[in-house]
Chains A and B, each alone.
Chain A
Amino acid sequence: MINSSLKQLGQQLASKQVSSVELTQAYLQRMAQLNPTINAYVTIDEDKTLAQAKAADARIAAGDFGPLTGIPLAQKDIFCAKGWRTTCSSKMLETFISPYDAHVISQFDAAGAVNLGKTNMDEFAMGSSNETSYFGGVKNPWDFDRVPGGSSGGSAAAVAARLCAAATGTDTGGSIRQPASLCGFTGLKPTYGLVSRYGMIAFASSLDQAGPMAKSAEDCALMLNVMAGFDERDSTSVNREKEDYTRGLANMTGAQPLKGLRIGLPKEYFAEGLSADVAQVIETAIAEYKKLGAEIVEVSLPNNNLSIPVYYVLAPAEASSNLSRYDGVRYGHRAAEYNDLMEMYMKSRAEGFGAEVKRRILIGTYVLSAGYYDAYYLKAQQIRRLIAQDFVEAFKHCDVIMGPAAPSTAFKAGEKTSDPVAMYLEDLYTIAVNLAGLPGMSIPAGFAQNSEGKALPVGLQIIGNYFDEARMLEIGHAYQQVTDWHTRMPEGI
């Protein structure tokens, strides 16, 4: 049951072969057994969870249900959920009980999904290994010595270890796709503006986007059907008609379901920086796509290498502004001792934020400060346009872009914590997508043997044009009809 697709689980619930309470209890038992080791969840509240499961069973009994009614999901702890502790994995919000629901949470509530708990993450989503969490790191279910990636590391481990049927994540520079690659599942970052950011704790508002993390493209499509949609409470929510992201999946059969599809391979994605074992897996996956009828074209994203420097100006600048709200006055951590208001601010923030969050606030403050604005912030915004234009040019020659989602397989805990710049390079293939606002996903494409003989998952990234999620999910689904990487589970879990 734990390896079933969302569709299979939905059918079992609808036909009353299993109740939501039974299904939820099965996951809660797995969580009780495995979470003390894996640390995927930071908050579990069985009473709240089971109350939702009971309500879902009542809806099913009454015939009032949809595809996700009664399905147990994990929610990244960046989404405010009313009555739930919502921490963003920060000491600053260690005791924060949200007084309201994020749009994503209320959408899942309305669909009748069950919230299994809040998942661990890098503090305020700033990190690529989940090691900046105030609540400690998360184990990669494929190898407990290694990181799950980040920032959505708890959701990633929960999906990979089957501690939930599916999960939510957010992606500012790769935080859904990189962990999806490192933990071997399907993760989609939608087009900027597709999913409302209302109630999603802000990191870099012009880049942050929520998306599904699940076993397969089909599962992601079902999740996105619930998550996507216009919300007037987010000023950047795009007002467009609702789509059914599953609508084309059934067509992905036959010998060459992708005939005519042009896949662009950016030469910059296969250059220095990509480890050989990952490159090999990606090439094999591309060969599989050829068999499915796709044609391969070489494209170029000449400014891709600039995406990391640009990101580390723009994201910290936006973060320094967004995180100024944590002042110890209305909510969040307040220092125990201070002599005046200034000292209260300075001590509360020094105590409440971890080292990486402080670094990014300081960088952001610096690049926005008088005398440096043009040299850093404005310059970065100009190069951001060059990076976005690279994609416009590339999409003249192809329908989707493919490449690796991360430069290597999962690395060891502690390996990159002392050098922030080494950690930042993890997002070499993902950040440009956020800067351009495009949709990107990572699907399991196989395994690479590391030097210790352990097989670690590798993700294939699929980048689409704006609002092309339905097509991307079809392309992922077509591959998952002829491969079984997405059904693999870590041994002994």
Chain B
Amino acid sequence: MALNLDDIKRIAHLARIEVSDNEAQETLNKLSGILGLIEQMQAVDTTGITPMSHSQDVTQRLREDVVTQTNQRELFQSIAPATQDGLYLVPKVIE
């Protein structure tokens, strides 16, 4: 499946990464090379093979529903780009 510049713009938007028009062509070339490598998979017959998502056949552990962490808001917000009154600041999203 060959990619084009519109695909690059669409994927970049989904990934929330700005790709300028100048970068788009270079990105297309590199991604096309990687997809060419990936295409080797299509030659393999995988009918009936169960997908392997993980090397360990384990299930999620459960734990008691009790408090395990104490509040460290000030410590965590000390490394935030912008905060006010204990809240993280982002551009206005609701008019």
Chain A residues engaging chain B, CB cutoff 8 angstroms: 95-97, 99, 192-193, 206, 232, 235-236, 238, 303, 305-306, 308-310, 312-313, 320, 324, 327-334, 338-347, 349-350, 353, 358-359, 361-363, 365-367, 369, 372, 375-376, 378-386, 388, 419-421, 424, 435-438
Contact = CB atoms under 8 A, between A and B. Distances in A.
B83 to A, nearest CB: 9
A238 B18 CA distance: 40
A238 B58 contact: yes
A86 B38 CA distance: 33
B11 A366 contact: yes
A313 B79 CA distance: 33
Contacts of A437: 54-56
A350 B91 contact: no
A96 B76 CA distance: 11
15 contacts: A206-B53, A308-B37, A309-B39, A312-B34, A331-B76, A343-B18, A358-B17, A358-B19, A359-B31, A362-B11, A365-B11, A379-B42, A388-B52, A421-B36, A424-B34
A192 B12 CA distance: 32
Given A331-B80, A361-B17, A366-B11, A341 B38 contact: no
A309 B40 contact: yes
A153 B60 CA distance: 34
Contacts of B91: 338-341, 343-344
B15 interface: yes
B41 A313 contact: yes
Max chain A CB contacts within 10 Å: which of B18, B37, B53, B55?
B55
Contacts of A333: 81
Contact of B44 (A312, A339, A340, A383): A383
A320 B15 CA distance: 8
B44 A328 contact: no
A22 B67 CA distance: 43
A309 B61 contact: no
Classify chain B's interface size: 35 or more
A373 B60 CA distance: 24
A324 B19 CA distance: 16
B41 A363 contact: no
Nearest to A369: B14
A306 B51 contact: no
A192 B11 contact: no
Contacts of B66: none
A462 B17 CA distance: 40
B81 A312 contact: no
A117 to B, nearest CB: 20
B76 A330 contact: yes
Given A350-B19, A361-B15, 4 more contacts: A362-B15, A363-B31, A421-B34, A424-B37
A331 B79 contact: yes
A165 B43 CA distance: 47
Contacts of A346: 13, 16-18
B49 A382 contact: yes
Contacts of A193: 55-56, 58
Contacts of A358: 17, 19, 27
Given A344-B91, A350-B18, A361-B17, A382 B34 contact: no
A378 B51 contact: yes
Given A238-B58, A330-B88, A346-B16, A313 B38 contact: yes
A247 B72 CA distance: 42
Contacts of A97: 78-79
Given A341-B93, A382-B51, A376 B38 contact: yes
Interface in B1-59: 1, 3, 7-8, 11-19, 27, 30-31, 33-42, 44, 46, 49-56, 58
- Interface pairs A-B: 10 shortest CB-CB: A437-B55, A381-B51, A334-B81, A385-B52, A382-B46, A350-B18, A346-B18, A365-B15, A382-B49, A345-B16
B46 A383 contact: yes
Contacts of B75: 99
B28 to A, nearest CB: 10
A361 B35 CA distance: 13
Nearest to A378: B51
B79 A96 contact: yes
A333 B17 CA distance: 13
Contact of B54 (A96, A236, A347, A367): A236
Contacts of A236: 54, 56, 58
Contacts of B46: 379, 382-383, 386
B30 A420 contact: yes
Contacts of B17: 346, 349-350, 353, 358, 361-362
A347 B19 CA distance: 9
Contacts of A238: 56, 58
Nearest to B38: A309
